[in-house]
Amino acid sequence: MSVSYLFAPKELRRRRRWLNRWWPSVRLRLDPLQQLRVDGRYVPVSIANWKLIPSVARSLLSTRIARPLTFAEDRRLTVVIPYRDREQHLRQLMPVLQEKLREQRLDYRILVVEQESGSKFNRGRLLNAGIHYAADLTDYYCLHDVDAVPIVANYACPSQPLRLVNKLIGLQGKSRHNDHYFSGAVSIRKDQVQAANGFSNEYWGWGKEDDDFFFRLLLTELLCYYDLEGTYQDLPNPPHQQVHRRYPWTPAHVRRNRQRRSLLLRGLVDPADDGLNTLRYEVVERGGSAEYGPAYEKIRIRW
Ligand code: UDP
Ligand code: MN
């Protein structure tokens, strides 16, 4: 408890207590996990902000999963990119990404996994398919959004799951990802993603599959990190895919998001029964590209 808290006027204390019930991170100034910083650059993804995990469970988890982050060399990387209808993004991303990977002298492949049109977009299934498809040739993955173009990024093989994105440079200038978010571009070892059973296959449309994935990693007792220096350019979504961005959200939006979030947190699904081990997919088409070079492959899948 900080000094300012003790001496705050009564009214302020009352309000802060109310706030703390909903947003414990305000109180948890000193998150024990934050002491695990590596080189002043790699910081554990906070679980203090997950207000739905009771604080006892949070501190238990913290001590259980605390592990430092190191990097390994000479590992085979597959960058998996979930994709549909983002031609322009792919064209902007590919040269920059390949340049970065070559610069860092990595043994890499790039796998774009495209979803056939028809059903709603399902990012989790695409990533699962990519993870499965590339497994034999891969030691670790980078699960990479097509609209995140690296400016400062370390694609080396991390010993713990690592979010490469911190600063985002977008149309509205600079912004930062919050410290409990786990998406954008995430590096993870093959054995770790398999231990967590990959992503859930049941998140259709936009969002929340990444939070679900973060919880799966926690349940596998993996501490996730992010890179403070990681800087990406955030490409704006094409206009016809921006519907969900309209604020303020309607009550229907809010309700839907809450329902999604609760799937795992309320124990309605068991990660062991939904993920890499239950995914069925079919490769409809596969091919390389003269433009993007021999390390590039694109598959189109359906399920
Ligand atoms: N994505 C895609 N086509 C879509 C929707 C999503 O290719 O119609 C992929 C793409 O890789 C994108 C990622 O899913 O980077 C995340 O989707 P989106 O950009 O809509 O999410 P946000 O930027 O809002 O997190
Ligand atoms: Mn986007």
The answer, yes or no, to whether residue 17 has pLDDT greater than 80, is: no
SS3 label, residue 287:
strand
pLDDT in tens, 138-147: 999 999 999 9
Asked whether residue 4 is assigned to any structural domain, the reply reads no
CB atoms within 10 A of CB 194: 17
Number of folded domains in the chain? 1
Asked whether residue 35 is assigned to any structural domain, the reply reads no
* Rounded CA separation 271/197 (Å): 7
The answer, yes or no, to whether residue 15 has pLDDT greater than 70, is: no
Distance of CA 303 to the CA centre of its chain: 23
pLDDT in tens, 77-93: 999 999 999 999 999 99
Q: For ligand 1, is residue 303 a contact (CB within 6 Å)?
A: no
Q: Which atom of ligand 1 is nearest to the CA of 183?
A: 25
Angle subtended at Cα 76 by Cα 47 and Cα 148, rounded to the nearest 5 degrees: 55
Q: For ligand 1, is residue 121 a contact (CB within 6 Å)?
A: yes
Q: For ligand 1, is residue 232 a contact (CB within 6 Å)?
A: no
The answer, yes or no, to whether residue 76 has pLDDT greater than 60, is: yes
Please tell me the number of the ligand nearest to residue 207's CA: 1
Asked whether residue 48 is assigned to any structural domain, the reply reads no
CB atoms within 10 A of CB 47: 23
pLDDT in tens, 259-300: 666 566 656 678 889 999 999 999 999 999 999 999 999 999
Q: Where residue 141 sits, what CATH number does that domain have?
A: 3.90.550.10
pLDDT band at 246 (very low <50, low <70, confident <90, very high): low
Instruction: Find the 275 Cα to ligand 2 centroid distance in Å.
Output: 23
Asked whether residue 233 is assigned to any structural domain, the reply reads yes
The mean pLDDT value for 234-258 works out to 71
Q: Are 125 and 201 in contact (CB under 8 A)?
A: yes
Q: 170 is in which domain, residue-wise?
A: 71-302
> pLDDT at position 26, please?
46
> pLDDT at position 5, please?
47
> pLDDT at position 126, please?
98
Q: For ligand 1, is residue 237 a contact (CB within 6 Å)?
A: yes
In the block, residue with structure tokens 């068991």: 270
Asked whether residue 44 is assigned to any structural domain, the reply reads no
Higher pLDDT, 154 or 236: 154
In the block, residue with structure tokens 């359906």: 302
Please give the backbone phi and psi of residue 6, each rounded to the nearest 5 degrees, phi first: -60, -40
pLDDT in tens, 105-122: 999 999 999 999 888 999
> pLDDT at position 12, please?
62
Choosing from 85, 123, 244 the residue with most ligand 1 atoms within 8 A of its CB, the one to mutate for a pocket test is 123
The answer, yes or no, to whether residue 2 has pLDDT greater than 50, is: no
* Rounded CA separation 79/87 (Å): 17
pLDDT in tens, 32-47: 677 788 888 998 887 7
Asked whether residue 51 is assigned to any structural domain, the reply reads no
Asked whether residue 298 is assigned to any structural domain, the reply reads yes
| Least confident segment among 70-79, 241-250, 261-270 | 241-250
* Rounded CA separation 186/231 (Å): 13
What does pTM read for this prediction? 0.85
Asked whether residue 23 is assigned to any structural domain, the reply reads no
If we measure between CA atoms, which residue out of 208, 190, 187 comes closest to residue 256? 208
Instruction: Find the 110 Cα to ligand 1 centroid distance in Å.
Output: 17
pLDDT in tens, 181-219: 789 999 999 999 999 999 999 888 877 889 889 989 988
